[in-house]
Chain A
Amino acid sequence: MAKLVAILATTHHPFYYRTSQLPPEEAPPFAAEWVSKVATYRETLTRARPDVLVMVGSDHFHQLWLDNMPQFLVGKAPFYDGNWENEVREFGLPKMLLRGHEELSAYMLREGIDKGFDLAFSNELRVDHSVTCPILTVRPQNDLPIVPIYTNIFAPPLPRPERFVQLGRTIREIIDAWPSDLRVAVIGTGHLSLELGGPRQFGPHGPDPEFDARAVDWISRGDIDGCLAGVSLDSLHEPGNATHGFMDFMLMMGIAGYAKADHTDSLDLFHTMEAYFTWYPNPELIGDPS
């Protein structure tokens, strides 16, 4: 069976790439610490020596649109172009080409549908910054095939938080049962408290630092039940109007199960808090950090 070697759950800050490219004299004061934390986080994936990456993210109205909106979608293609013109324009992100892993995509779709998730699929998907940002941060050499999984955290009516956790558990079952010798890592990105296009946007911190502290605590302790008791579709409006992206973190908690994260880090930035979590489901599969 395949080996699930690492689970990474993180924010996807689209300004990281441009910030990390700036010469020191032009970089903002927080840049050095941000780059350092990302380098440490990158090492948590490198240590796991993955062969294939399952990437959980959410299209931000780039390809998926209100005339035909899937709740959960799996990409199944040999390649995925990455980043859209308005992401190049707004964030300075580069156009990218990522390799796909069609065999695992096909297996994910077949097993997911049979396990009660009527997954949509796409044979031509241009992935957006929810997938490309973690490649740029934790696998910048972009040398591994991916299976993209998109969730709808953006266009209501949305699936409830419980459904995200259930999908995470199902993805875990599917990977654990995949008849393959490959080492799989899952990388999922979402948000803590976040406001976009509303009165609380672009403040000196995220719009709700108390929510962010609770969220980091839930995730780092693997407290799925506490998290589910603490959030609902309605309550997620309160910390910020784009905070439903937190449900992607909940999906990742479903994959990790009731387990403390092996790596937890965060960085308070303007506009939002960055957060980085890694779990190693089987520590025996991970090399010596030295």
Chain B
Amino acid sequence: MSRYLVNKFLFTVDRDTDLTERYRRDPVATVAWWERERANRVLGSIPAEDTTWLSFTDEERTALEAHDHVTLFGLGAHPFLTLTLWIAMFERDWDEPLGMQLDYARQLAHLGLPYPSIET
């Protein structure tokens, strides 16, 4: 499990408008590019100082490729990061106010307490 790396993906994609749009438009290619080029970049550092060991599990990669926020929740991705990025990508597809957020919640409705740990 690489919960930290999933969070790093969500964090770095959400704060970059171009990356947010790429991830919305072409999630499989964007996840592959990000894991190859960005997963091991220490934030604020140069490529020569990249980390050498970070990668997604197959389950995490598949969930990110599928825009599957339910599985990400189950894996313990930080729910604030997932929600914020999903709002940026998908709120525009709904006509009614909060339509996207309420649908997002409905898809998680089968889950009770305790929620999966988000500790990293």
Contacts and interface: CB of A to CB of B under 8 A. Distances in A.
Contacts of A238: 113
Nearest to A198: B79
A201 B105 contact: yes
A196 interface: yes
A86 B14 CA distance: 7
A84 to B, nearest CB: 7
Interface in A231-281: 237-238, 241-242, 270
Nearest to A156: B119
Interface of B: 4, 7-8, 11, 14-15, 17, 42-43, 69, 73, 78-84, 87-88, 98, 101-102, 104-106, 108-111, 113-115, 117-120
Contacts of B117: 156
Nearest to B77: A197
Interface of A: 60-62, 65-67, 84-86, 89-90, 154-157, 196-202, 237-238, 241-242, 270
Contacts of B17: 85, 89
Contacts of A270: 98
Given A198-B105, A237-B113, A157 B79 contact: no
B81 to A, nearest CB: 6
Nearest to A158: B119
Main SS at interface, chain A: loop
B79 A199 contact: no
Contacts of A60: 80
Chain B interface mostly: helix
B73 to A, nearest CB: 7
Nearest to B8: A66
Contact of B115 (A86, A89, A198): A198
A249 B14 CA distance: 28
Given A85-B17, A90-B84, A241 B119 contact: no
B88 A156 contact: no
6 contacts: A60-B80, A61-B11, A84-B15, A86-B15, A198-B73, A199-B108
Given A61-B80, A197-B73, A199-B106, 17 more contacts: A61-B78, A67-B43, A85-B17, A89-B88, A154-B80, A196-B83, A197-B69, A197-B79, A199-B108, A199-B109, A199-B110, A201-B83, A201-B101, A202-B102, A237-B113, A241-B115, A270-B98
